[in-house]
Amino acid sequence: SYYTENYRPQFHFSPERQWMNDPNGMVYYNGEYHLFYQYHPNGITWGPMHWGHAVSKDLIHWEQLPIALAPDEHGMIFSGSAVVDWNDTSGFFDGKSGLVAIFTHADTYPNSDSPRQRQSLAYSKDNGRTWEKYEGNPVLTDESITDFRDPKVFWHKETNQWVMVLAAGQTVRLYTSPNLKDWDFASEFGENQGSHQGVWECPDLFELAVDGNPNHKKWVLFVSIGDNPAYEEGSRTQYFIGSFDGKTFTNEYAPEETLWVDKGRDNYAGVSWSDIPQEDGRRIYVGWMSNWKYANVIPTKEWRGAMTIPRVLSLKTTKDGIRLVQTPVKELQVIRDKAIFLNSEIITPNENILSNELGNQLEIIAEFELDTATVFGFKVCKSAYEETIIGYDTEKREMFIDRTKSGDSSFHESFVGVHNGNLVPQDNKVKFHIFVDWSSVEVFGNEGELVITDLIFPSPESNQIELYAKGGKVKLNSLELYMLKSIWS
């Protein structure tokens, strides 16, 4: 039956059947979180793109809905966003409010096979259940740019207009509009800024408080960069921090410095939800949990592609400057099942204090105090022949996921590996917050200063858990280990 197949995510969103890539059009409206996604309904590899659709009341349990947008005379439906047009600026809603999707139509020039990408609109008067394409499509074109896609639109209240951030080759372009139909070029950002190791895709631009202070805000620009055979990391997402005046984004960091959203391999094209109510105030996002390097060949059969867990974005001042912080949404606590709590244990190389625990849908929250151990952490999805290690290296001061022996990796030569990022101990302590599902591991280091997201393809019987230390001992100050319920049963 559905959602029990080998490798099927138990608490991450994946489509019932067929291929999925980027999350699209995420918007909250009338009590529902909408998640649209790049979808190929007729195959499990990338193909003619549609927008698949699901809704949730709690960000955790999803109801699958029919395809929202299908290819038409203007081409395939590539990535984009959706907004609530509260004041009917578009005129689509007879003075009421409704949903407008802003997406890329992808086809080829007439009598030619060169690709053409143009921005278009669709609107829904019934909470996203049915969609009408705008008869004036496309609404934004530029024949001078080939890669011209993935519009992310938001209402900028200070200047009383819509703002679109759009990927254009290896920069982003900003456009403004009073009504979502007429767009004016405002500015371009990206030349000699950040990483240019691939084509720029799926931007997002939003404001966040620094250290939770509503009087100290910065703008954050997300830019995903596509796979390039010259770089082993494949597709990944960078971010910039700066200011935005309604027309121009200004990076406040050294232009050559690249800040990465995730140090794992499998978090791409992430963008945030629009119209989260002000009293909630969170900036929530999901990414596509895969990598263009091998996305088309991962060893799932009935579907391909899953989203990360929903995460809250914030900004924190560190010794290196302001940095992005990600934490799992608190709603995930509803799927906690059987739990184990431990305090003040000394972990040594000789013993696994979790040897009685079995499971492969897990949440682990652990705080360690550094001691003589050089490496410590958890081995999950473990059996005599497999393991995925989520550890901390005290000499390098790095947290890592080691998927070298995590299970099936035969489908692509660059899948095996160790992925790590710097994590400075706080008062000699480090914290892990881990989510393990049937084919993924996500680890949040300290309070989400470092995130590593990796796919894994272990055998279902690899369900042992080990708490380990190497080269000495480490103190486990506290551990919460939860078995998680499936969101599909």
Give me the residues that bind ligand FRU (CB under 6 A), please.
Answer: 21-22, 38, 49, 78-79, 104, 149-150, 201-202, 269
Specify whether 262 is catalytic.
no
Tell me which of 22, 85, 402, 437 is the catalytic residue.
22
Encoding tokens for residue 479?
């551990």
Q: Considering beta carbons, is residue 79 or 326 the nearer one to ligand FRU? A: 79
Coil/strand/helix, residue 469? strand
Cβ count within 10 A of residue 413: 10
| Distance from C-alpha of 25 to C-alpha of 30, rounded to nearest angstrom | 15
Q: What angle do CA 399, 464, 444 make, to 5 degrees?
A: 25
CA distances from 370 to 422, 426, 468 (A): 15, 10, 13
Q: What is the DSSP string of 210-241?
A: ETTEEEEEEEEEEEEE---TT-TT-SEEEEEE
Asked whether the beta carbons of 275 and 283 are under 8 A apart, the reply is: no
Contacts of 287 (CB under 8 A, 6+ apart): 23, 237, 261, 262, 267, 268, 269, 270, 307, 308, 453
Q: How far is the CB of 343 from ligand FRU (least distance, A)?
A: 44
CA distances from 155 to 43, 103, 246 (A): 36, 16, 10
Name the DSSP letter for residue 333: G
Encoding tokens for residue 43?
């195959």
Residue with tokens 């000499």: 395
Q: How far is the CB of 228 from ligand FRU (least distance, A)?
A: 13
Among all residues, which ones are annotated catalytic?
22
